[in-house]
């Protein structure tokens, strides 16, 4: 199994749920302006992680 495939499987199995749980906990702990700041940091980070998983899948599909 290639490194790209391992990264993709790990990301889908553990990464996405873990990111959702930690972002939810961060949003619960913050209040007021902190919620907005937390949201503005967490959302792009999650989207970037999802984008990297999609790119990894595309690279993996091109290799086969």
Provide the pLDDT confidence category of residue 1 given band limits of 50, 70 and 90: low
* Distances 11 to 3, 40, 56, 58 between C-alpha atoms, Å: 12, 22, 10, 15
d(CA 48, CA 45) in angstroms, rounded, equals 5
Provide the pLDDT confidence category of residue 64 given band limits of 50, 70 and 90: low
State if pTM tops 0.75.
Answer: no
Write out pLDDT tens, residues 24-54.
887 788 788 888 888 888 888 888 888 888 8
The full set of domain ranges for the chain reads 3-63
């Amino acid at each position: 199994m290639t490194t790209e495939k391992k990264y993709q499987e790990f990301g889908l199995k553990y990464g996405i749920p873990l990111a959702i749980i930690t972002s939810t906990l961060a949003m619960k702990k913050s209040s007021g302006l902190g919620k907005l700041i937390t949201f503005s940091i967490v959302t792009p980070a999650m989207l970037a992680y999802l984008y990297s998983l999609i790119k990894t899948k595309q690279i993996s599909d091109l290799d086969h």
